[in-house]
Chain A
Amino acid sequence: MAIDPTTNRDPTGRTVPGAARGPRVANAPRLLDVGEAALVVEFGQAVDPAVHDRVLALDAALGAASVAGLGECVPTYRSLTIHYDPLILDRAQLCRTVTDLLASAVPRPRAGRLWTVPCCYDPALAEDIEAVAAWAGLPAAQVAARHAAADYRVYMYGFAPGFAYLGGLTADLGIARRESPRPPHPANAILIGGGLAAVATVPMPTGWYVIGRTPERLYSGARRRTFLVEAGDTLRFEPIDAATFAGLEGRAAGGEIIARMEG
């Protein structure tokens, strides 16, 4: 795919109309400037596993390439933000590198790992599960069962340390997010809202609904493996009762990894 990213803008920095954002080739990503020290490669506008695979393929290719001046890359649902030092790495050179990698890097099937994550749906811990049950017209146990039946793709982190956005929620649980945030959720909350699921490590006010808690920590500064899962991994939630939660919580607090990894 031939992308000429140097034609994105005219000399005043304004977007050139028409072919401005790269040629209208099907599936051609757009290269958009984020100031002079970051470039976002946008593969689409939607939450879509195929789009996300392309994001991760470029992320992996850039991670493997040794490019002086390249900073961190941030994968999201549909784009990869590439930070760079423009005094070392020229924008046009970065665009050429990206274009070359896009031409050669065929998105492979994801090599993401599968994690089984214990989750307690007891209403004592799942503070909002009754509210979701009332909205869905289901018993709380059915909300838990349906949440636990799906596999979730880790699309990205964001919002807060160890806040993982997950795709794969059943439409039955597609409750909209709250109009105004609820008070801070507990640590390691399992959330749903707006058609997505999430795991939220650090307590924060939230517009999502707390439907469970896991003893696992996706982020723990005290653990050798600081971050447990990567974008592209798959999570599966395994229901546990409150007594099991209490036991596992103690082990996790001691630095043990509770979730089981396969693949």
Chain B
Amino acid sequence: MDATLSILSAGGGITLQDAGRHGYLRYGITPAGPMDPLAHAGANRALDNPPDTTAIEISLGGVSLTVTGAALDVSLVGGGFRIDHDGWPLPCATALTLKPEARLTVRAGPTGAWCYLGVAGAIDVAPTLGSTATHTRSGMGGLDGRALRAGDAVPIARPRAALGEPSILELPWLDRPPGTIRVVLGPQDDHFDPAVVAAFLAGPWRIGARGDRMACFLEGDPIRARDHNIVSDGIAMGAIQVPGTGQPIVLMADRQPTGGYPKIATVIGADLGRLAQARAGDSVRFAAVSVSEAVQARRLAQEALAGPIGRRPLVRTDFTSEFLLARNLIDGVVG
């Protein structure tokens, strides 16, 4: 029997994402895909899904949902979100069987900006150009090319339900505090004086408030290229372009495929998610590494992802006494 995830409430910017719509950049098609590819793959890995399986990307807007039709195993992996399962808090990296009508609520927590809900089954939406990744600006992928909203029914084909009670997922490699983001300089670092490149690396840069899936805006002392227009060329995820304002912009999953500002550096693949999980107001610095160092970091991330995931049963005493008091569960103990 098929299952349906019913969206009870949803903040803005919650979308279905697989690993992205690759192969069509030459036709102006943005890949989209997850903002934090490693966390997305981790959510799938926790359910023994292929890493590019469609998952729900949850923004700071939060979501509340329930499953109908059949029980369904789900995982939650990403930033430090607050998760509530029928009135019980869950740790921010968890996997469980969601029983029909049980309510799962995911809200912004103390850290992180994106959280992935993996699903043991197939989110059954028609792919566009081979991918379900949602790109809202062009209305492509996902549910009708848009973000999820209250009242949506997300169909799940071939649901599996074997996990039972919630467990804590041990994913130490996803513990990546923002701070220093590694970059490979270029491809247009020669459009900047060496002192400007040094100033870019010295930072610090503050994450601006107007960021979204398209771009992360950096605020700090302006840096200027010798010429802030180039003849357009391709833009990779993580490319850091510097427009005439001198405030760098890191192009992310929903970026335009080409652009005409010089790009001083490119965030390495292993640190894309670390940057994506930074919040408005957070401070970051950039450190230049070589291509071979970036490849090594990428290899380490892939090996961590491929390794076994530790699981601990969730013991209710993992909760703070404040929480238990709030629930009136230990009345009489502290009287």
Contacts and interface: CB of A to CB of B under 8 A. Distances in A.
Contact of A37 (B234, B269, B292): B269
A157 B26 contact: yes
A27 B115 CA distance: 48
B90 interface: no
A186 to B, nearest CB: 15
B138 A156 contact: no
Given A15-B185, A160-B256, A202-B138, A219 B27 contact: yes
B322 interface: no
A71 B231 CA distance: 23
A12 B288 contact: yes
A246 interface: no
B95 interface: no
Contacts of B291: 9, 13, 33, 36, 86, 91
Nearest to A158: B258
A86 B295 contact: yes
A1 B329 CA distance: 77
A40 B187 contact: yes
A130 to B, nearest CB: 28
Given A162-B28, A231-B26, A77 B232 contact: yes
Interface string B246-257: 000000000011
A135 interface: no
- Chain B contact residues, majority secondary structure: mixed
Contacts of A21: 190
Contacts of A74: 25-26, 234, 257-258
A77 B233 contact: yes
Interface stretch (A42-50, A100-108, A144-152): A42-50
Given A9-B291, A157-B27, A87 B138 contact: no
A161 interface: yes
Contacts of A96: none
A219 B129 CA distance: 12
A34 B289 contact: no
Interface string B275-310: 000000000000011111111001100100000000
A120 interface: no
Contacts of A14: 185, 288
B266 A158 contact: no
A87 B292 CA distance: 11
Interface residues of B, number: 51
Contacts of B24: 72
B233 A40 contact: yes
B268 interface: yes
Nearest to A77: B231
Given A13-B289, A231-B26, A158 B232 contact: yes
A247 interface: no
A109 to B, nearest CB: 21
B131 to A, nearest CB: 12
A254 interface: no
A12 B28 contact: no
Interface string A208-226: 0000000000010100001
Contacts of A34: 184, 186-187, 234, 236, 239, 263, 266
A162 B294 CA distance: 33
Contact of A13 (B137, B138, B263, B290): B290
B184 A79 contact: no
Contact of B295 (A12, A76, A77, A91): A91
Nearest to B26: A74
Contacts of B288: 12-14
B26 A73 contact: yes
Contact of A72 (B25, B184, B290): B25
A160 to B, nearest CB: 6
B236 A35 contact: yes
A37 B297 CA distance: 12
A38 B299 CA distance: 16
A182 to B, nearest CB: 17
Most buried by A among B138, B234, B266: B234
28 contacts: A9-B185, A9-B291, A12-B289, A32-B187, A34-B186, A34-B234, A34-B263, A35-B238, A35-B268, A36-B294, A36-B295, A37-B236, A40-B233, A71-B22, A72-B22, A74-B25, A74-B257, A76-B231, A81-B233, A87-B299, A91-B292, A156-B232, A156-B258, A159-B258, A160-B137, A202-B139, A221-B128, A221-B140
- 6 smallest A-B Cβ distances: which pairs? A158-B258, A81-B234, A36-B294, A157-B28, A35-B266, A32-B187
Given A34-B187, A72-B25, A221-B129, 10 more contacts: A15-B185, A35-B184, A36-B295, A42-B187, A45-B230, A72-B22, A159-B257, A162-B27, A162-B28, A202-B139
